[in-house]
Amino acid sequence: MIFRINVRQVIHALSDALDLVGIDEINHGKRVAFMAVECGKTMKLNTEQLNTIHHASLLHDCGVSSTQVHQKLVTELDWSGSQEHCTRGKKLLDRCRLFDGLPPIIYYHHTHWEDLPPHLDRDLALISNLIYLTDRVDALIAQHGGTNILMARHSICDTIKKYRDLLFKPELVDIFLKLATKEFFWLSLDSKHLPYYLMDLERQTDEQSVDGHTVLEIATIFADIVDAKSTFTVEHSRGVARLAKFLGSQLGYSGDMLYMLEAAGLLHDLGKLNVPDEILDKPGPLTDREMAFMMRHSFESYQILRRIKGFEKIAQWAAFHHEGMSGIGYPFHKTPNSLSTEARIIAVADVFQALAQKRPYRDSLAPEKIILKMADMAKKGKLDPELVALATTHVEKCWRHAQCLD
């Protein structure tokens, strides 16, 4: 099976996922994209260059999963540890052929203009530095939070001028300052107006055909961003994906159905990027408020994934992993008749893997204890009893898949 997807929809979905890391501070990548593309237009760059700027801007912080790191990005103009997320972002994008050409830009987007290596392609150097410039402008905007943007713009421009020919290429600073005289440039950054600009850009791209391997490459990038958020959930998404694929194969699934199941497993916890680090890493029981925050994550996953054409089924399978067999799950309270077998597989794989993995509030459980807990959950209508029975039959293999040992 060949999947038809819109690459820009995938990139926008990744940007939406990255927005979750900021909790309340959202649209950073989108504002950077708007400013950088508008600068590119003023420079009369060609369509291919503008597309590269747009995509790299939206993904420039894909190496950020921690709310603490995100806070530094929007409150500090420059700091010693900024290269860490650039390096991680490059490694993530290197794994997906859809993003050829973007990794070097991501890697250098916090490198001072005077420090960019001479061997770097000049177009890539220009785009990297442009994203660095607009990224730092947005950090300055965040530091003026609560101030009318038209009143704050002069102070922001004065700060950027100080770093002309140091952090930023002089010509890029001049282009930015020229645009900054226009009120529309600043007003368009408002969350009321920004989505329309991006939707117009999204409509300008066509769908393309990709195979199942590429779908998995895309899903793996999302999963790696999620799993990097907490030391206690490293490899969780991969474990769920591998176990879901194994359970599906035991039910007779093959080919693209297994690709889709594996992708859904990789993507199921995407919404956890919106959960503060301290809640995910908490060593004790969650309070009602913390649990309410946690319960949002599967809905956030659904809202992001359902926008990608070609991912409609994957979005449902991934996002319904906390739905029960008797309408007691969340967030949609699905009934058995409206809950697909594939979504039930992801739910069983998620619980099994979570119990097999060490968490801040408990050690990992042995296979026999996992089965006992899952059997009890099946009796209470939280898991599909037939799938729990299947996992019981193959408990050792399930445990190895959950631990990413097979």
Ordered by where they begin, the domains of the chain are 3-202 (1.10.3210.10), 211-402 (1.10.3210.10)
For the record, the structure tokens of 275 come out as 């959960």
Q: Which residues are catalytic?
A: 272
Omega cis (within 30) before 385:
no
Q: Please give the torsion angle defined by the CA atoms of residues 402, 258, 92 and 301, in that order, rounded to the nearest 10 degrees.
A: -80
Cβ neighbours for 203, distance < 8 A, ≥ 6 positions apart = none
pLDDT value for 144: 85
Report the C-alpha gap between 332 and 167 in whole angstroms: 49
Report the C-alpha gap between 10 and 32 in whole angstroms: 18
Cβ neighbours for 230, distance < 8 A, ≥ 6 positions apart = 277, 280, 281
Q: Please give the torsion angle defined by the CA atoms of residues 95, 100, 102 and 106, in that order, rounded to the nearest 10 degrees.
A: 30
pLDDT value for 23: 47
Largest CA distance in the chain: 69
Measure the CA angle with vertex 71, ends 193 and 294; round to 5°: 85
**Per residue of the chain (406 residues), what is the pLDDT tens digit?**
678 888 888 998 988 888 887 545 678 899 999 999 999 999 999 999 999 999 999 999 988 876 666 566 666 677 678 899 999 999 999 989 889 899 999 999 999 999 999 999 999 999 999 999 999 999 999 888 778 999 999 999 999 999 998 899 999 999 999 999 999 999 999 988 998 888 887 777 777 888 888 999 999 998 888 877 776 666 889 999 999 999 999 999 999 999 999 999 999 999 888 888 888 888 888 899 999 988 999 999 999 999 888 899 999 999 999 998 888 889 999 988 899 999 999 999 999 999 998 877 788 899 999 999 999 999 999 999 999 999 999 999 999 999 887 7
Report the C-alpha gap between 297 and 319 in whole angstroms: 9
Report the C-alpha gap between 278 and 275 in whole angstroms: 8
Report the C-alpha gap between 311 and 340 in whole angstroms: 15
Partner residues linked to 359 by β-bridges: 362
Cβ neighbours for 404, distance < 8 A, ≥ 6 positions apart = 235, 238, 239, 242
For residues 111 and 132, the answer to whether their CB atoms sit within 8 Å is yes
For residues 49 and 56, the answer to whether their CB atoms sit within 8 Å is no
Report the C-alpha gap between 98 and 10 in whole angstroms: 10
pTM of the model: 0.85
